[in-house]
Structure 1
Amino acid sequence: MSRVIVVGSANVDVTTQVAALPAPGQTLLATDTALLPGGKGANQAVAASRWGTATELYAAVGADSFGRLLRTALAAQGVGLDRLIEHRSAPTGLALVTVAADAENTIVVAPGANSALTADAIADLRSRLGPDDVVLLQLEVPLATAAAAAVAARAAGARVVLNAAPPPQPGSSGLATLLANVDVLVVNETEAIALSGAGTPAAWLPVAVALREQGPAAVVITLGGDGAVACTGDGSWHQPALPAAVLDTTGAGDAFCGVLAAALADGRTLPQAVRAGCAAGAAATEGRGAQSALYGRDELDARMGDVA
């Protein structure tokens, strides 16, 4: 049975609602505040699990109330937690999320225990993988850990999906090794610019082509309300966005990545997986918080007009 194995972060999101994002030096009063489960690794694991694919998470949390909150929330979503580390000295990662009335957001992350997810913590990964598995990575954990996971996955014959977020500096130690072992690189517009070193482009497909030259077999650039573009060795294409009643964009990119990985593990082609990811991203914007929107494979197939 194919699985999605996520190696990544787990945070608690301190989310505030404001009329508009603050300007530098500005103080605003929030209209609402909430503590919600988050972290790119955890968010993407939840999205993959909701698709119906067996999903496991390698992550680290603190031995604190936030860590217990995350463990409970992830277990309720069906995510396998046998490799969730409880760190005795570092606190659970924390994300400060500000959401404006137009659904745009800003996010600042304090990694905490996520920094303790070292390459040693995933030493058994290769032995647990099979060729039908998909390993899903992000960069809220040390880049060296992501690189080690990609190398282990490639050695086991598994596929690797990397969401390069937050974006590393070009030339970062281990980045070339990581990208050389990636099957699908997923980035948003900001991350694509940072990783490519280019200015804001007139078109995104050439940026995807350029990023593919850094090593990944395929590149997907998510474009929010404009959908996504993708590039492989066989060509490139644009996937339009799907309709949504947008409330909060927090976690939409994570939903895209988690469902894309799950769809690939499920045997769908990359174009089909990108389309499913766009459906998940649309659904995710209709609830508040990174994991609050409820959707599964049947709901997403219905959004796409597909037969489940």
Structure 2
Amino acid sequence: MNSKPHVLAIGGAHIDRRGQISGPYVPAASNPGMMREDVGGGVFNAVRTAVRRGLSASLMSVRGGDAAGETVARAIGEAGITDLSAVFLDRATPSYTAILDAEGDLVVGFADMALYDLAFPKQVRRSGLREAVGQADALLIDANLPAAALERLAGFEPTRPIFAIAISPAKVVRLKAVLGRLALAFLNRREVHALTGLGEDAPASAVIAGLRAIGLNAAVVTAGDDPVIAYDGSGTFRLAPPTPRAVADVTGAGDALAGATAAALLAGHPLRQALREGVAAALLAIESDRAVPVFTPGEFAATLTLVPDPVEMA
């Protein structure tokens, strides 16, 4: 019997393309740069980091019967994750393309993910999925799932905690119907605005009050280089992320934070301690040019020493 906590991840696992401009960004013009391709997806990135932090995992996603789908399947296997995904032979595998400026900040992202909207509502009705949920210690989901699929999942097993990744301002609104069922949500200030209407520069107290008012019992809210704010039933706190030693690519930092935080929570740590581990993973992601940072336990421990303790908020 596996003694590791087991998480069932449900959501995006697709091709990630990241193009980085080599000089100053010039709008509406051809910009020289370099394109890299990898396998990513919010929940897949997060669960790979969770596995690196000690969890066992399975993944349910959907993909096409093309070469890109074979690449995704190979990446899932190489990560040591049990693949429960469905393959649609006549469809193209979803993809996400991000264009970054020379400093690694996102200029624009483009999501080609129609298969998720088409297939996920049917896939969550599979009898095997209910069994997989029952065998997991927690669910890790993302808002690539359409609202109908999220609602069905939320009703499966009320004793299983559900951790949710917002994905984008356009998709986070899909979580509205299940906010009260979430054990913890990971989102940024733009996604908070999409859910609550609050401005991106709203004070932390207003952000937390706004999220509580719409039924979210616990959340982690990131804001780039600014402090991460978080709350749960035990209170509210903020954590100032350390300055990266080098910035390679900010894409995937939020996913790494979610995966490492969820792993620490399932290991029995309170949110304040778990979030320190999440911020350490995010720092490693920012410093890496990979979709998911690769690190040894020693490297992670050394990075964790750079992360300060959270500060309680009134």
- TM-score for both structures, normalised by structure 1: 0.89
For 1:169 and 1:62, how far apart are their aligned partners in 2? 22
Matched ranges for 1:1-308 at <5 A:
1=3, 2-18=5-21, 19-23=23-27, 26-81=28-83, 83-105=84-106, 106-123=108-125, 124-130=128-134, 133-153=137-157, 155=158, 157-168=159-170, 175-244=175-244, 245-291=246-292, 293-305=293-305
User: Structure 2 counterpart of 1:138, which letter?
Assistant: D
Number of residue pairs matched?
298
Provide the secondary structure at the position in 2 that maps to 1:198: coil
Deviations 1:147-195 (A, max 9, x none): 3222224x2x11111112223579x6x7443112111111111111111
User: Structure 1 counterpart of 2:152, which letter?
Assistant: A
Task: Check 1:7–1:300 CA distance in 2 against 1; reply closer, same or farther (3 A cut).
Answer: same
For 1:295 and 1:80, how far apart are their aligned partners in 2? 21
Task: Check 1:63–1:169 CA distance in 2 against 1; reply closer, same or farther (3 A cut).
Answer: closer
Deviates more, 1:107-116 or 1:60-69: 107-116
For 2:135 and 2:238, how far apart are their aligned partners in 1? 29
Provide the secondary structure at the position in 2 that maps to 1:129: helix
Q: Measure how far apart 1:21 and its partner are.
A: 4.5
For 1:226 and 1:175, how far apart are their aligned partners in 2? 25
For 1:114 and 1:63, how far apart are their aligned partners in 2? 14
For 1:277 and 1:150, how far apart are their aligned partners in 2? 24
Q: Residue 205 of structure 1 contacts residue 229 of structure 1 at CA under 8 Å; is this kept in 2?
A: no
User: Structure 2 counterpart of 1:164, which letter?
Assistant: A
Q: Residue 160 of structure 1 contacts residue 182 of structure 1 at CA under 8 Å; is this kept in 2?
A: yes
User: Structure 1 counterpart of 2:253, which letter?
Assistant: A
For 2:34 and 2:284, how far apart are their aligned partners in 1? 22
Deviations 1:53-85 (A, max 9, x none): 10111101110011111111221121221x111
| Corresponding residue number in structure 1 for 2:309 | none
For 2:304 and 2:25, how far apart are their aligned partners in 1? 32
Deviates more, 1:132-141 or 1:64-73: 132-141
Q: Measure how far apart 1:305 and its partner are.
A: 2.5
Q: Measure how far apart 1:109 and its partner are.
A: 0.6
Unaligned runs of 5+ in 2: 307-314
Task: Check 1:119–1:297 CA distance in 2 against 1; reply closer, same or farther (3 A cut).
Answer: farther
For 1:117 and 1:49, how far apart are their aligned partners in 2? 26
Q: Measure how far apart 1:117 and its partner are.
A: 3.9
- TM-score for both structures, normalised by structure 2: 0.87
CA root-mean-square deviation: 2.2
Q: Residue 8 of structure 2 contacts residue 136 of structure 2 at CA under 8 Å; is this kept in 1?
A: no
Q: Residue 16 of structure 2 contacts residue 38 of structure 2 at CA under 8 Å; is this kept in 1?
A: yes
Q: Residue 246 of structure 1 contacts residue 286 of structure 1 at CA under 8 Å; is this kept in 2?
A: yes
Provide the secondary structure at the position in 2 that maps to 1:180: helix
For 2:26 and 2:146, how far apart are their aligned partners in 1? 30
Unaligned runs of 5+ in 1: none
Provide the secondary structure at the position in 1 that maps to 2:300: helix
Q: Measure how far apart 1:235 and its partner are.
A: 1.4
Deviates more, 1:234-243 or 1:142-151: 142-151
Q: Measure how far apart 1:41 and its partner are.
A: 2.0
